[in-house]
Chains A and B, each alone.
Chain A
Amino acid sequence: MRVPESWLRTYCDPDLGVEELADEIAMHSIEVERISHVGAPSPDAFVVGRVLSVEKHPDADKLSVCEVDAGEGVRTIVCGAPNVAVGQTVPVALPGAVMPDGTKLGRAKLRGVESDGMILSEAELQIGDDAAGIAVFDEDGLAPGTPLSEVIPVSDPVIELEPTSNRVDCFGVYGVAREVHAVTGADLAEAPWTDDAEATGKGEVTDYASVIVEVPELCPRFTARVFTDVEIGPSPLWLKARLIGAGLRPISNVVDITNYVMLMTAQPLHAFDLDKVPDGALIIRTAKQGEKLTTLDGVERTFDDDAVLVCDRNGPSGIAGIMGGQVSEVSKTTTRVLLEVATWNGVNILRTSRKLGLRSDASNRFEKQLHPELAIRAQRIASRLMVELCGAKLVPGTIDEAADIPEPHHLELRTERVEALLGMPIEPKLCSEYLKRLDFEVSGRGKTLKATVPFHRHYDVTREVDLIEEVGRIHGYAENLEATLPSTSGQTGRLTREQRLRRRAEDALRDLGFDVVVNLSLTDPRMHTRIRIPDQELRAQPIRISNPLSAEHSVERTALLGSLLDDASYNRAHGAERVALAESGRVYLREGSSPHDGVLAGKFVGNRPAPAFEPWRLGALAVGELRPAGWRDGAVAADFYSLKGMLEALAAQLGVTIEVVPGDEPFLQPGRCGRVLVGGEDAGWIGEIHPLVCRDWDIDAAAGFEIDLAPLVAASPSGEETYEDVISYPAVHQDIAVVVDEAVPAAGIRSAVLDAGGELLRSAEVFDLYRGEQVGEGRKSLALRLTFRAADRTLTDEEVAERRRAIEAAVQKIGGSIRE
């Protein structure tokens, strides 16, 4: 909303500069986006001049040499405009003036004749649209030499406002002026709708036009007036200047009047050429599905049956509240005008405007819901202007099709509540004063005020708390609001156990050398195909957005892997030698559940369950070398075992032991992937990325894992540890080598040994793997370090030997033997 300062000051003119004025508005009313400018940077050296004589230029057909009285004697000015004539009062720029485009005017010779200034066109001044000739003032009695800024806004600051959607009243300059009045206390001019035009036309409005509203719930009020003897022409300069300042292009006096009144009051209007409406009969109805209309901008629009149309007998004539149609457009030949000022249902206007992708100054206001009472105000202002500026005659009477007009709200303000809610005392007298300035009717004093809400705030101020906001903001938060703290929260602030352990896990990943990333959670619907997940899997059926911005970001991710691959690929392409990435975040599944509690398991508070299943995951992906080679150590490749070591270290940070069993995932290399078990529960995968997937992302061999965090946190003893005495009896260590078939997994050997070892066998750790002649083809030897210990005694040789025999037996059972 562009508010030209000069226009605003005609209604309310506090003793403040434009910057201070804008500050007051920003701190008390609505956001100020910026202060901009129309016209010249400065009004200096722009004056009123009178043309005393005009002669042809001796050397140029199209130029005239004029003698102009510009206040300080007579000047010679060369002018190229065809309309220059003796006796005209014109705008003149003297040498030294800076033009709106920034150029500084000097004395210049034009084909040998020196020009001591310049007679200006509207366009050159940015006060109008006419560039064909110089601007000519109608007003008599303007003394030559009068500063031009006293006549028209030569250099006008524009305060650009961003009113919030509840403040439709501030989409009108008078509404902004009312705010300035409330904030500064400076006088507010009488409401511009106070006086109506005199109706001098023939007959009654009903002789000319009729209106049928078929949908009163969508059109709470439709008013129409008729004007005859309309003379279409350009608007006067002052009106053009205001429109241009407010950002609209002048078109013709009738159209300009409708725009001007809208910019003043926030109530849009629409003018019909009455002679293009058969019998003056208008019908307000919803569109038929697929009905079409070419709007004023020349575009053919198609409607669904929610759209409301203003129709004549032949069909649509305009889209209600959004844009008129070409069929009834006011043109140069128009002589009779039907002026529509209506109230529409804001929600309906908003929907239709969204569906059509068509927003207009009118729809922007209507969609915020105007009160029906405002319609008649706009009729009164516009009628006077029609008479004054178009020589029109107003036909007596107003067509007024109105459903019940909502009564104003009568509210109570308990003045003690103001301080209780804001923590800022405001005297009852001031509360009353502020509300009155905002055009509320206020009665009572002291503890309880009674306030009647003005129509222009009807939909915004409906409760006591809304009144408190009004008095609070006018009183001023910046000046008067203290900074205090709530007395107590009644609780200690802290993270939950799962939040604490999640941070621990993220830190552990970082300390293990991973860069912990944050990826977009919306992804491409083809992602599951790229990571080879079959269509029938849940992971291949992501939650989809109905109205995405792009296909690339149209579904919620069901795995962390895809964007980690994207990141890896991006970084490799940008020259990173080492890429080890991890993400801690959610995936989104249409269904599913976790045996665990809490937000990591996708369980959220609230009476209504969450629509989707959103478990928290940890994912990691490493490409190339996980650790670089040094001058004496070799590099550690990002392969299954190095990633498994990382995952084990991560789990160990949380005090958890994980188990990995053979498994498969379509995006992992067969035979090099496993399921990660936490306390026996499947928590996710670990493995080397399938070469085809790596090729798709153009990365070298990679490995990674992705696990649910909830089981890890549930298995962690962190925060629930209890003290245990350290065992002081000596341990007995023995190393054994178990020779088995290749196919027997290490975990199988280990668990056989541990089971057989019983409670005396505290641990059995793998420390070597051997394949070769000594064990024979198709067999391997796995070396384990056994630790025997009892909590209450020193073990005897016989006790240990007995366990050893049991272990040998167990190994034989799985087809192995102990190598001596």
Chain B
Amino acid sequence: MTDRIEEIRKEAAEAIGAASTTAELEELRVRHLGRKAELTQILRGIAELPKEERGPVGKAGNEARRELEGLLESRSAELDASELGTRLAEDAIDVTLPGSPPVPAGALNPLIRTQREIEDIFIGLGYRVMEGPEVELDYYNFTALNHPPGHAARMEQDTFYVDPSTLRSDLRIRSNGEELPPGPEDVVLRTHTSPMQVRSMEAQPPPIFIVVPGRCYRSDPFDATHSPIFHQVEGLAVGEDITLADLKGTLDEFARAIFGPDRETRFRPDFFPFTEPSVQVDVSCFRCGGTGKLSDGSRDPLCKGVGWIEILGAGMVDPNVYGFVAANGYEPERVQGFAFGMGIERIAMLKYGVPDLRKFFENDVRVLEQFR
């Protein structure tokens, strides 16, 4: 009997080794290890054998079965692998065809990017970002910024005044129904972001370190460098001992962060009613490096050969401004600090080489897509 088992094992092992498909292999499994298979029958019939044969036959039969099972399994794995390989080869695709259309990439208007960049620079210097209304009271836009009624500087700013009949009825009318005379109750479209100096000092006692980005309005007709609507970032830093030198250091940091590491600033005297002293701030030209000449020796058109570019107005907050917020801890003799205001369009024009301010508001997608 054991001999027969050996024959079966040998024959089956050969057949398994020769099988070339998984289907053939399955057939062999049924033939040699299935319920009706000879080996299965032998093992099932062990109990009927003479006692002394039961041990050797059982052992040989089980060994043969295990061996065949092992062979089937390994041959099956071999065949699987080769069949998969064939199938995958048939499934190859053209990887050079384009991908399914993704969501097209959008862009941010460069003014948004520039504003964020400016905000982030000052956040890094410890400033908070505040925002104020654009439809604003004369009080905040002028009066409390040391532009008394009739002041020439009010008129220089080419203010848009709001038609009171288009405002809330309580705003421009006295209780007896009469319209108020020109004064702090007038409503304007803010001509600068500076009204937030006073609003924020009313809300927060010193020290205060803020920047105020936002939209401003002046009745300047459109041209390459003017628009009746434009954006500014205001800065305000007030404490006990903040100096004009601190303003210079702060603006140097800003200029380097936005225009490159070798930049420096230069102050020239100027006049703003709400700062004293007031300065105009130039940054050394980032194209020619401040020499006024390009590498080929020609005049740098960006700075017009001067080596400096005007970027913003600034100064030490005028004591008269503190006078309007003295009740909140801003006694003019005890606090001092600086303020500055820059045009976002101007910074963006310089930074990205945009030749005409109107481009920012045209929103031409062919331009926008340059600013992912």
Contact = CB atoms under 8 A, between A and B. Distances in A.
Contact of B112 (A422, A465, A518, A571): A518
A481 interface: yes
B69 interface: no
A31 B243 CA distance: 23
B163 A545 contact: yes
Interface in B324-371: 336, 360-366, 368-369
A709 interface: no
Given A30-B269, A630-B101, A547 B219 contact: yes
A599 B196 CA distance: 13
A553 interface: yes
Contacts of B13: none
Interface in A214-235: none
Contacts of A472: 244, 277
A567 B367 CA distance: 13
A629 B215 CA distance: 39
A606 B101 contact: no
A720 B135 CA distance: 33
B268 A519 contact: no
A191 B171 CA distance: 53
B234 interface: no
Nearest to A588: B135
Interface in A454-473: 463, 465-466, 468-469, 472-473
B259 interface: no
Given A368-B152, A604-B199, A465 B109 contact: no
Contact of B109 (A354, A424, A516): A516
Given A484-B246, A510-B106, A522-B228, A491 B128 contact: yes
Nearest to B109: A518
B223 to A, nearest CB: 12
A491 B126 CA distance: 6
B91 interface: no
Given A483-B245, A494-B128, A522-B229, A543 B162 contact: yes
B103 A513 contact: yes
Given A512-B103, A516-B109, A611 B249 contact: no
A483 B247 CA distance: 8
B98 interface: yes
B163 A544 contact: yes
A481 B250 CA distance: 13
A608 B207 contact: no
Nearest to B103: A513
A515 B229 contact: no
B135 A517 contact: no
Interface in A473-495: 473, 477-478, 481-495
Looking at B122, B162, B171, the one whose CB has the most chain A CB atoms below 10 A away is B162
A614 interface: yes
Interface in A578-601: 578-582, 584, 586, 588, 590-591, 599
A507 B107 CA distance: 9
B70 interface: no
Looking at A166, A477, A493, the one whose CB has the most chain B CB atoms below 10 A away is A493
B38 interface: no
A605 interface: yes
A302 to B, nearest CB: 21
A513 B168 contact: no
Looking at B103, B155, B264, B276, the one whose CB has the most chain A CB atoms below 10 A away is B103
A167 B271 CA distance: 9
A522 B217 contact: yes
A165 B108 contact: no
B243 A606 contact: no
A673 to B, nearest CB: 24
Contacts of B123: 493-495
A519 B112 contact: no
A591 B168 contact: yes
Given A491-B209, A510-B107, A546-B163, A633 B101 contact: yes
B100 interface: yes
Interface stretch (A21-29, A202-210, A395-403): A21-29
B237 A489 contact: yes
Interface in A405-442: 420-424
Interface string A340-368: 00000011001100100000000000011
B116 A545 contact: no
A723 interface: no
Contacts of B215: 521, 586
Contacts of A514: 106
A414 to B, nearest CB: 11
Given A506-B108, A614-B133, A590 B276 contact: no
A483 B249 contact: yes
A511 interface: yes
Interface string A153-175: 00000000000111100000000
Nearest to B244: A422
Interface residues of A, number: 110
A87 interface: no
A614 to B, nearest CB: 6
A306 to B, nearest CB: 11
Contact of B156 (A165, A424, A608): A165
Interface stretch (B4-12, B17-25, B53-61, B136-144): B136-144
A506 B104 CA distance: 16
Nearest to B149: A347
B31 to A, nearest CB: 42
A518 B363 contact: yes
Contact of A610 (B135, B277, B364, B366): B135
B107 A421 contact: no
Contacts of B122: 493
Contacts of A493: 122-128, 209
Nearest to B164: A546
B122 to A, nearest CB: 7
A548 interface: yes
Contacts of B267: 477-478, 481
B84 interface: no
A197 to B, nearest CB: 34
Nearest to A566: B363
Nearest to A627: B101
B319 to A, nearest CB: 6
Interface string A735-753: 0000000000000000000
Contact of B101 (A27, A424, A629): A629
Contact of B268 (A26, A488, A506): A26
Contact of B129 (A496, A517, A610): A496
A287 to B, nearest CB: 19
Interface string B216-259: 01010100000111000000010101111110111011000000
Contact of A486 (B104, B116, B155, B239): B239
A350 B152 contact: yes
Given A166-B271, A604-B132, A627-B103, A422 B245 contact: yes
Nearest to B128: A493
B369 A515 contact: yes
B203 interface: yes
A22 to B, nearest CB: 11
Given A368-B152, A486-B239, A611-B133, A512 B244 contact: no
A503 interface: yes
Given A28-B269, A574-B364, A486 B139 contact: no
A632 interface: yes
12 contacts: A422-B245, A482-B248, A484-B243, A484-B245, A489-B127, A495-B119, A522-B217, A590-B166, A599-B130, A604-B131, A610-B136, A611-B187
Q: Which 7 A-B pairs give the minimum distances between C-beta atoms? A: A423-B245, A423-B243, A606-B199, A489-B126, A164-B271, A610-B133, A347-B150
Given A420-B336, A424-B245, 9 more contacts: A351-B150, A477-B269, A478-B268, A486-B209, A489-B125, A493-B123, A556-B135, A578-B104, A612-B135
